[in-house]
Every structure is written in C-alpha cells, then in structure tokens.
Structure 1
Amino acid sequence: MIVISFDCLSALDFPLIHTLPNFMRVFQKGSFSKNVETIYPSVTYPCHATIVTGNYPNRHGVINNTLLQPGVASPDWNWFRSAIKGTTLYDEACKANLTTAALLWPVTGKAKSIQYNLPEIFPNRPWQNQILVSLMSGTPSYQWELNKRFGSIRNGLNQPELDDFVLESTVHTILTKEPNLLLVHFTDLDTMRHNYGVFSDEATDAIHRHDQRLGRILDALEENGRYEETTIVILGDHSALDENKAVHLNVIFREKNLISIDSKGKITDWKVYCNGCDGSAYIYLKNNNDNQTKQAVKNILDELIADPDNGIERILTGEEAGRKGADSTCAYMVEARLGFYFLESHEGEYIKHVTQKDVWENNKYMLACHGYSPEKQDYSTFFLASGKGILADEEVPFMRLIDIGPTLARLLGVDLGHTDGQVIEKFLNLKDP
C-alpha cells in the first residue's frame, strides 16, 4: 500500500484533477469521495495523526500543529511519534511483520515501527541544522542514502524543490526497499495556497506538478512489477479558504493586563493565552480554576464578536470544543470569520491587513489558510483509492477523515482497535483471502 497525501487537496479540485493524465490512471479503476469531512482544528499535524489512527485530535492527542509555548517566537511542533496516544497504521503494520516507510509524514519523528523513516521536522533553534535534526529523528542510514543521492535537489524548505526531493526519494524507496506500507507527504500545493491564494495560478501549477509526481510513482510501481498488487491511496487532509486579515487576540489580552511583558516586549507571565490554529484558535488559562480570569476573557470575547470587523464568528467553551473532537482542556475555542485567521503575536495591532508583500517578507503571513471548522461551506477534502482490494467506479457521497484509518487498516489486514471512524465498506473488494 502506498498512501500519498497531497496536503491541502480540496474537493473543489476534483474538476481539475479528473482531467489530468496521471490522476486519471488511478481514477480508471478506482473509487473516490469528493466530500470528505476534515477534523477540528483542520491543521496538518492533527489531520495526519487522524489519518493513521482513525481518531479525533482529543483522542489521539495531537490537538494542534504546535505546542503551547507562550511568548516563544517559533513554537516547537508535534514532530514526534510520542505525541500520538494509542496505536497507528504503521505500528500495526510493523507488528504484522510488514515493512514500513515514511517520507515527511507528520508526527513520525523517532517512530520505532517505521523501518525507513525521513520524518517531517525542521531546525527550530539557532544551534540546530536540518541534517542533524532529521538524522536524530528518523532512520540515519536511510536518510544519509537519500541525501547523498538527491540532497542537491533541495533548496532548504522551499517549494517545489522540497517535493521534488521527496518524489525522487519515494521512487528510490519503491524500487530498492519495496515496503509493504509507504506513507508520503507532499506540501507544494499547501505552500502555494498559503502564499498566493486558493485558486491562484501558482496553486493550479502545483496541482499539475503533483500529477507529474504521481505519474513517476505509478511508473516506479510498474517498473518493479508491483503495480497490480498495490493499493494506491491519494488523499487530502483539509481544504483552504482565502483570507487577508490576521487577528492577534494576545494583543487584546496584553492590553487588558492578562499577559505581562518586560521592557524588551518578552512575555514574563500570563493568565490567558491564544494558541492559534490559523482559522481557529484555542484560548488557554494558565490556571484552569481561575474563574475570575475566565469570566474576564468571556467578556472580552463577547464584546469582540459583537462587531464582525473583529473577525470572530463563533465562541465555543472547552466542553463544546471537545464534542467537536478538539482539545476540551481549553477555556474557549474561537472560529474565525471568512477572510480572517489567528496569529499568536502579542505585539502590534489587533487586526493586520495582509498584503502579498507581507507574505513574501514574513512567512507567518498568508493569503489562504485552513484550521477552520469542518462546517465551513466548500471546505471538504478528497479521497481516492485504486488497485488491490478496491472496487472500481464507486463514489462515496460522504465520509470523514476519521474513516480513512480503519479503512486502510482493513485493506492491510491489520486492526486499529476501537476507533472514532468506521470502515467504508463501499470501497472494498476483499473477497480473495
């Protein structure tokens, strides 16, 4: 089985990808759903943890891309397998004596059950470098081999070069390692949508590049004679929405003396903190029993939501967030209005109008993002499977991201145990033993 995640592939991309030659090679004998409900918050790391567990974030434990680190300019991400509670698709495959490989699949750092692992991780501190943090978090010999062969293709973390490196590594892995389960994560499309907009020419070009990448992968499977015996899975993790206004709730909290800073502007203490998830945000209390601060925060949020120009569409309690699969330990969760998203900065203006120049000069600014509620209109993602164990020409009108894990587990002949999602039987043709 090869699982190809085209990060930020939207259901709205269906009319285009259904015309592209290599996607069509998969469609010809495949089945699909162009209405896959993502999770909340719909950001990449929780989504990919959901894909391999079949569970919502509050159950698998990866409740955001980043950790809660108030005042840190660049918070650490949930890079490591240890962030996931319970088992995963690759854990169960390994237990079944299947060979596993992963290329830039999120939340796989130091995963002992992945034999060939190049995890998604980046140097986040001045004393770190890319090669060392990767080697320490994945399979050293495998990574050394890939870097020696294809490292010159990369240009840091820039796209499309990074995905071109991942592609060559994927083809090499198929031809030389022949894993039973291969997880691959491509981010070219996600980057172009962030930087230029959902339906920008740059995003369209990225989809065309993905089609060419898919063709190379299919050719590699044919070359080593494994095409007919392989289940090919193509999926997105979330969609995206255009926006151009960044909301900084921590600016308000600082002005209300709920966040303390020193003379250099660094946070020295906090009673409440906004932990951004792009299209949504968690609001955490330092002391969950501080009812006075909790009420003060509620009053602030109620005042802000009264004016649409403040960018807040909905306020959820921690309990309500938990019922949607998000982190129930937050005091509140806020949803952004269309055109807005959340950042964590506690300095500057409350609303920042983002321009293309801002995006080019600072990667925290974007012209499109995700993280929004799955209930947003035109916000579904996409799933396509073909090959061994998959029926041809079936369309599932609706499924959820949580259903992917148990469905793939059934195809591999392994069991994820009790999951939030369920097997989508309509895809499957498992009559043969």
Structure 2
Amino acid sequence: MLAKHVILISYDAFSEENWERAKTLPNMAKLIKAGSYSTKLRSVYPTLTYTVHTTMVTGVYPDKHGVFHNNPLQPFVKEKEQEWFWYRKAIKVPTIYEAVRQNKMSTAGLLWPVSGKADINYNLPEVHALPNENLGLKVLRSGSPLFGIGLELKYGRYRKGIQQPYLDDFTTLCATDTIKRKKPNLLLMHLINLDDIKHSLGTDSVEVEATLLRMDQRLGKIMEAVGEAGIQEDTVILVVGDHGQFNVDYKVRLNKLLQEQGLIYTEKGEMKWRAYLQSTGGAAYLHVKEGDEEAEKIAITTLQAAMAKEQYGIERIFSRQELDGLHVEGSINTMVEAKVGYSFEDILEDPILLDLRENNIKYATHGYSPDKKNYRCVFVASGPGIKDDYLLGDIEMVDIAPTIGRILRVGMKNCDGRVLEEIFA
C-alpha cells in the first residue's frame, strides 16, 4: 500500500485554461511541488458532470457504466423538474468505493454525483429537490442519516441552499470535519463553484479569478485538516477537473426542426414524439422510438440539411460506428456535435436560434466532445510515493479509478483505463 488514505477532490470545470493562474496559488503550488500533474486529462463523451464522475469512480466509459447524461430521458419535462441520475443503482459496474469497502477500509462521500443510497460509510450525496420535495429529507434518506444530521447541525448555517460560494464552503467544512473525526481511507468530494461561475458569467469573467483564489483556500483547509488528523505521511490528495467549458453566443433549439417535420407533435392535447434530441449542452443525442426506421431517416436527413446552414451551429453528426470509438451509450445511433460558440437545448419555444449577445447574456457550457481544442482537464496527484514536480503527458479519465486502486492496494478489475504507473516514485 502506497498510502492508507486517498482524498479525491473533484474540482468541477477545472481545465487547462485555468492552469497558469491556479499553479501560482500557494496551496496548489505546494501540491504540485510534492506531486505529479497533467493539463492533458481527456474527459469522456459527453462531457457532462454525472457521466464523467461515474467514469472517475468506475474506470470505464459510459457505454459500460450506463450513466449517459446527468438526466434520464424525460421529453417535454422542464429542466428544473427533471429527475437526475442521483442513485448508485444507475451504475451498471463496480466502483472504487465498493472495492475499498470490500477490503475492510472506510469510505466517505461529500456531494459526490450518482452516490445516493451507495455503499459508502459516511455519505452526504448530491441530490436535488424537485417541486414539493424537501431537500434535507431527500439528502438524509439517500445517504448516511446520522452522519448527515451531524454535519447539518454543525455547519448548516454556513450554507444558503445551493448558492455559491456558500455551498462549496459548507462541503469543505464537512470534509475537514470528516478527515479529522473519521479518517476515511477514501474520501470523494465534489466542489462546484468554478463550474457555476463559468456557466453564469462566462469562462473569461473576473469572477473566475476570485473563484480560483477561494478554491485554493479550500485546498489549504483540506491539507491543514490532514495534518491535524496526523495522517499527512499516509495521504495522497488527488485534484481532478471533470471538463472544460466554452463561451456560448447562440443557443439552438433543434427539436423545433423535428417538430416541423411532424416527428414531435400534439395528440389529444398531449405532446408526443417519434424522434427527440436530448441536449448535453455542447452536443445532443438523437432518441428514436424503437423500430421507427422512418422517423430515424427523416430526423437524420433534417439534421444533415441543418448542418449545411451556418446558423444551426452543427459541427458534426456522429454515426453509431463513430460513437463506438467514443464509447458512447450503445442505444444511441446518432449524435450531433455543436461548434464552439453554440449550444443546444431541448425546449420547443421560439426562436429556434437565440442570440445571447443581442440579449446581453453571458453564458458558457460543456457537454462537447472531449477532443475539442483547449478543452482538456487538469489532474494533480500529491503525497507519499508520488514523484515530486513531475509533468505527465496525455492521460484519460478512465485512469483515475485504477490509479486509486493501486495507491490503496485495491484491485479494480475490468477497467478501460490503466494505472498511471509513471507517477510513482
């Protein structure tokens, strides 16, 4: 065993564009000096938070683990009212946290995606409240009730719902408390502030700088807690970005084109579909009713015609053969990729093309192909047994779980990824 403890900090939307600034900040600089790092971590397709985080803990691509989107398909349901893949049962393969438990070691999860009702010793999962639901009760029912109540009583006053930076401050307080009191062998935590800021203000907003500074302070608090717990010589800290983001000038509502072709229609006052595009932001899945080959043909012809027109922002239409190479969920035969500067959304409201600049709206998003330029993520591994100040080249999101397994001497079988042997001293 290289270390007895691993802390995996998911730094949502931490990408190569943030690296030059982040590496100069005191706590990140400390981690780098005592660790290995890469700014060429390739994510998975689509680059959506829940899809990527499931890959992080399983070491396999979405075509195997089954979490193909943040949300199961729910046509015509408003985004804020949609179910998400909140629960462990959505994952079709074993996870690193279960492997750790099977080796009689302890685990903790703090706002980790797709971990509701998971086999985690100390679990405060990331779930959202739908209309008429109580968020507090939902979190407790989905996680470890006594652990969750204890953290809420101690630190709940620092949180303001899901508002940032308060939510990440709360998560960090919970992490420092859990490290000191529970000393879990594996701690998974998800910090979301940077992602939120980029979405709402763009990737180049001045607020990004302030968020990077706050994040570095949070890293410092976690490192301090490791020291206070007396486990510094036995702890590896991983900081991992899950995806980048791109600024968006135009939102495109491609389902309007399918509606014009009669593939989306109203029957007896109810919305129905034969073909439907489920957006990931930077891409969209084409869902077709099973066996409806005619609808599939019409939909693809419609999308090909739209691709020839600049305003719809379609960069590529991927066939199933191409999606095999990208390890995309097997039930999808066609996927549409947006150009940088464009994003897709499901809704059927006018206009088909929404010009955000005209409306003075700042917005950025993700969900694009991981192979777009300047869209790689950041990886840092720091601690005992890890090479100091060592620059890695290209690595894959599927490499995270088997590498954690190697550190804790826990076997992760049937991974698509590899152990990053080159980081070990």
Question: TM-score, normalised on structure 2?
Answer: 0.96
1:101 matched residue in structure 2: 108
Residue 135 of structure 1 aligns to which amino acid in structure 2? L
What residue in structure 1 maps to residue 284 of structure 2?
281
The 1-side partners of 2:396 and 2:366 are apart by 17
- CA 263–152 in structure 1, closer or farther in 2 if over 3 Å, else same: farther
Q: Tell me what 2:63 maps to.
A: 58
On the 8 A contact 1:320/1:328 being kept in 2, the answer is: no
Gap runs ≥5 in structure 1: 360-365
Residue 190 of structure 1: how far off its partner (Å): 0.2
In the TM superposition, residue 263 of structure 1 has moved relative to its aligned partner by 8.2
Q: Does the 8 Å CA contact 1:40/1:372 hold for their aligned counterparts? A: yes
Q: Which residue of 2 aligns with 1:234?
A: 239
Output the CA distance in 1 between the equivalents of 2:384 and 2:377: 23
Counterpart in the other structure of 1:371: 367
SS of residue in 2 equivalent to 1:313: strand
**In the alignment, which of 139, 144, 153 is matched to residue 148 of structure 1?**
153
- Paired AA for residue 120 in structure 2: I
The 2-side partners of 1:417 and 1:336 are apart by: 35
Q: Which moved more, 1:35-44 or 1:328-337?
A: 328-337
Task: Report the equivalent of 1:203.
Answer: 208
- State the aligned residue count: 418
The corresponding residue for 1:306 is 308
Q: How does 1:60-79 map to 2 (within 5 A)?
A: 60-74=65-79, 75-79=82-86
Tell me the distance in 2 between the aligned counterparts of 1:313 and 1:235: 28
2:92 is aligned to 85
Unaligned runs of 5+ in 2: 1-5
Pick one of 312, 317, 322 that aligns with 2:324. Answer: 322
Q: 1:40 to 1:15 in 2, by over 3 A?
A: same
Residue 390 of structure 1 aligns to a residue in which SS? coil
Instruction: Report deviation, 1:262.
Output: 5.9
Cα deviation for residue 160 of structure 1 reads 0.7
The alignment yields a C-alpha RMSD, in angstroms, of 1.5
Partners of 2:360 and 2:77 in 1: how far apart?
Answer: 21
| Identity across the alignment (%) | 38
Contact (CA 8 Å) 1:394, 1:426: kept in 2 or not? no
Question: Deviation digits for residues 1-48 of structure 1, max 9, x if unmatched?
Answer: 101111000012111111100111111111111111111001100100
Match of 2:33 in 1: 28
Q: Where does residue 258 of structure 1 map in the other structure?
A: 263
Give the CA deviation at 1:193: 0.4
| Structure 1 match to 2:139 | 134
SS in 2 for 1:228: helix
Please name the residue that 1:114 is paired with: 120
SS at 1:284 equivalent: strand
Look up the SS of the partner of 1:156 in the other structure. coil
Q: 2:299 pairs with 297, 300, 316, which one?
A: 297
**TM-score, length-scaled by structure 1:** 0.94
1:363 corresponds to which residue? none
Counterpart secondary structure, 2:391:
coil
The 1:132/1:389 distance shift into structure 2, 3 A limit, reads: same
AA aligned to 2:371 is E
Deviations 1:379-405 (A, max 9, x none): 000100111231212211111111111
Which residues of 2 match residues 344-359 of structure 1 at below 5 A? 344-354=346-356
Shift of 1:354: 2.3
Q: Deviations over 1:210-247 (max 9, x none)?
A: 00000011111111111121011111011111112111
- Distance across 2 between alignment mates of 1:6 and 1:94: 24
Correspondences of 1:348-427 after superposition (within 5 Å): 348-354=350-356, 367-427=363-423
Contact 1:21-1:211 within 8 A present in 2 as well: yes
CA distances 1:115-174 after superposition (whole Å, capped 9, x unpaired): 1001011112x2201101111111111110111111111111111111011011111111
In structure 2, C-alpha distance between the alignment counterparts of 1:146 and 1:178, rounded to whole Å? 15
Cα gap change, 1:276 to 1:391, in 2 (>3 Å): same
Amino acid of the structure 2 residue aligned with 1:385? A
Report how far residue 357 of structure 1 moved. 7.0
Cα offsets for 1:267-326 (capped at 9, x unmatched)? 2x1101111111011010012x21111110111011100012211100012332232011
Correspondences of 1:173-188 after superposition (within 5 Å): 173-188=178-193
